[in-house]
Amino acid sequence: MLICPDCQFENPNNHKFCQNCGTSLNQRVCPECGVDVATNAEKCHVCGAVCGTVRTALIVKNNSLPAQKLEGESQKLENPELTESPTTPQPLMIGDYLDYQQRYQLLEPLPNTEELSTHRELCVRVLDCQPYQITPLKVILTKQSQDLPNSIAENSGNVPSWAQTYIALQPQLHKGIPPIHDAWQQDGMEVVLLEDRSHWQSLLQLWQEDSTTSLQILECFYRITQLWELLIPFDACSSLLELSNLRLDEDQSLALQRLYVGDAHLTQDISPDSNGNGEKSPITLQALGKSWHSLFSKSQRTQFGSMLNLLADLKQGKILSITDLQSRLGEIADEVQDSSSEPSHDNNDTQNVVEEEHGNIEKMPTSATVLQLEPLEENTAITDDSPTVNLPMQLSSLDDAGCTDVGKQRNHNEDCFGIETEISKVELPKSRNLKARGLYVLCDGMGGHAGGEVASELAVNTLREYFQTHWSQKQLPNEEVIRQGVIAANQAIFNLNQSDARSGVGRMGTTLVMLLIQGNKVVVAHVGDSRLYRLTRKQGLEQVTVDHEVGQREIARGIEASIAYARPDAYQLTQALGPRDASSLNPDVQFLEINEDTLFVLVSDGLSDNDVLETNWETHLLPLLSSGVNLDRGVQDLIDLANEYNGHDNITAVLIRAKVRPIFNSPY
């Protein structure tokens, strides 16, 4: 099957275009020059940019595997459908390819059979010539996710045992762990294909840069301790000891190029010490101390302050738990932070302050709030009994985008949205800080032409003006202030209805969903059935708001959902701004915190109807958590998705991407 890269629809292998959305299945667009390039090409034939899907192949010699000859080789080549069986064996190295199906083309030469036998492991880059074709491993994992019995066990004979660690870690969506693409074993060889991270910046390179601060170094160490906790149950902590294996993603967060599981695939530099009996001792924090000392040595960077004592204690085995190590890192960071007093904001010679503003509404005053976020939540493999240090974090970036569309059936657009953000980025010799605040409003009007669009726009503008005078620079407005803002918007529309003598269905109104962000603090207010969703890698997609409609009201009263939504008026709104006075209005207000990288999604019902987001979030929302993905393109893709599956109503979406990283200058 060919999986469409846009809509994830399953297509037969011989199709050139997606049966569902029409996307090409044998060509892609060059990101540099925009020409069409074949999916099996490594580079663009016009500008030379890399367009192909490159993967890392790990190849391990296993003499215990029987050498087998695949029968019907020519038949397999002519009939690629046979490759979709999870049990189809895939022999190694056929000409310029890694497999008989000629899917994975070698981008670098492999040694011959005799030379290969002298290597314990090989690591090569390959070009995926069929990037949209589902892999046998994907079939297995799909069955596993559907709780089909014995889905892994039935096919374990063709999956290398050390690939199971990648498989076990994959559902956690931790960016530090490379995702597995495919795996098989055949003819005495074990092969695992991973995301290629060889071009990512190395941690050692970051340390060698003069601009790298002590706090950045401590942040890297803390990320390593988090991954250490994650990898302990899988005997894979050696992955953190090989310096060339430590990479940085686009957000400068620590990531691994691959995993070293147990001692089966360790290089000599990172092998555990012998216990004197010829056996390997378990990896301990002492080995981590040696690795960190090596980082300082190879980068020629001077060890600072209490770091000397920390490394000495690690190497001598005086730090016995990862929690103690994290606490020591926090103490050192406090010392570093205290030793660097921030210069006055008026001293332009010693401080570099960059202010950036964006949005489609007027500028708001800068916040002076000190950003303190909660601990990272990426170590989900740890048991509930494992202690975790509560290290605070800070906002590292805030991006947003919005778009509205009339849809396929309406002749005018009654939706309206407003985005108002201010970001102040402060760079100092020994610290970095980002202060941000934003107002995001989405309204879905009702009342027909010259009614719904008037109400929605009036609500957006009223709220913008209200918070210009009711939002202090130091903190988010409290619940009462938020409610009064919503009431003010309701009153503005209500007064217009009264002055125009509108009655019945002619009275204009609008739904509202509103998000305010200041630092890591968030407040949400909503009226009606426009929604806020929250997406994180740990929790997936969550609907934050609950629609104000008859069906949900009945469920809140204890009625079963199937009965509540069997009513003919189940989707009728129980609240809206404008039709009635404030005595009939009770907006929902919630306060949240950003504890990990988060994508907030505000939508009108033209996008949320028919569970479009719940069905497609992994393909259309999850990639948007990455800083390298353009939010403007992402929001347009959501509009296109809604037009494809709904299209009966106006469609509006606002995306807010908030990314965080640890800080050390606050108590925990």
Structural domains in the chain, sorted by start: 52-195 (no CATH), 201-272+281-339 (1.10.510.10), 364-662 (3.60.40.10)
Residues 6+ apart with CB under 8 A from 338: none
For 474-488, letters b (16+ CB in 10 Å) and e give eebbeeebbbebbbb
The model's pLDDT over 98-125, given as tens digits with 9 standing for 90+, comes to 887 889 999 988 766 555 565 567 889 9
Q: State the burial class of residue 653 (Cβ atoms within 10 Å of its Cβ: 0-12, 13-18, 19+).
A: buried
Q: How much is the pLDDT for 8? A: 77
Find, among 335, 551, 370, the residue nearest to 474 by Cα.
370
Q: Which two tokens stand for residue 655?
A: 């995306």
Do you know the residue count of the chain?
668
The model's pLDDT over 365-418, given as tens digits with 9 standing for 90+, comes to 333 222 222 333 333 333 333 334 445 667 788 999 999 999 999 889 999 999
Find, among 132, 239, 248, the residue nearest to 200 by Cα.
248
Residues 6+ apart with CB under 8 A from 500: none
Q: How far is CA 290 from the centre of its chain?
A: 32
> Does residue 261 or residue 624 have the better pLDDT?
624
pLDDT tier for residue 363 given thresholds of 50, 70 and 90: very low
Q: What is the mean pLDDT of residues 444-458?
A: 87
Most confident of 32-36, 227-231, 276-280, 372-376: 227-231
Q: Which two tokens stand for residue 575?
A: 């609240």
> Does residue 66 or residue 445 have the better pLDDT?
445
Find, among 429, 407, 473, 422, the residue nearest to 642 by Cα.
407
C-alpha distance from residue 4 to each of 1, 58, 239, 624 (Å): 10, 27, 34, 18
Angle at 335 between CA 334 and CA 339, to 5 degrees: 115
Q: Which two tokens stand for residue 538?
A: 């740990």
Q: What is the mean pLDDT of residues 456-479?
A: 93
How far apart are alpha carbons 144 and 138 in whole angstroms?
Answer: 10
> Does residue 78 or residue 315 have the better pLDDT?
315
The model's pLDDT over 565-593, given as tens digits with 9 standing for 90+, comes to 999 999 999 999 999 999 989 999 999 99
Q: Is 282 helix (H, G, I), strand (E, B) or coil?
A: coil
The answer to which of 176-190, 230-244, 631-645 has the lowest mean pLDDT is 176-190
The model's pLDDT over 511-559, given as tens digits with 9 standing for 90+, comes to 999 999 998 889 999 999 999 999 998 889 999 999 999 999 999 999 9
How far apart are alpha carbons 187 and 490 in whole angstroms?
Answer: 72
Does 86 score more than 70 pLDDT?
A: no
CB 581 within 8 A of CB 533: no
Helices 214-231 + 285-299 axis angle, to 10: 150
Q: Is 178 helix (H, G, I), strand (E, B) or coil?
A: coil
Q: Which two tokens stand for residue 428?
A: 């100092």
Does 96 score more than 90 pLDDT?
A: no
Phi first, then psi: give them for residue 401, nearest 5 degrees.
-160, 150
Angle at 262 between CA 261 and CA 267, to 5 degrees: 80
CB 253 within 8 A of CB 278: no
Q: How much is the pLDDT for 162? A: 84
| Average per-residue pLDDT for the chain | 80
Other beta carbons within 10 angstroms of residue 164's beta carbon come to: 16
Q: Name the strands in the sheet holding 598-603, side by side, starting at the edge strand that comes first in the sequence.
A: 393-405, 651-662, 598-603, 531-536, 540-543
Residue owning tokens 């509560």: 390
How far apart are alpha carbons 422 and 592 in whole angstroms?
Answer: 20
Other beta carbons within 10 angstroms of residue 307's beta carbon come to: 22
Residue owning tokens 């030469």: 109
pTM of the model: 0.67
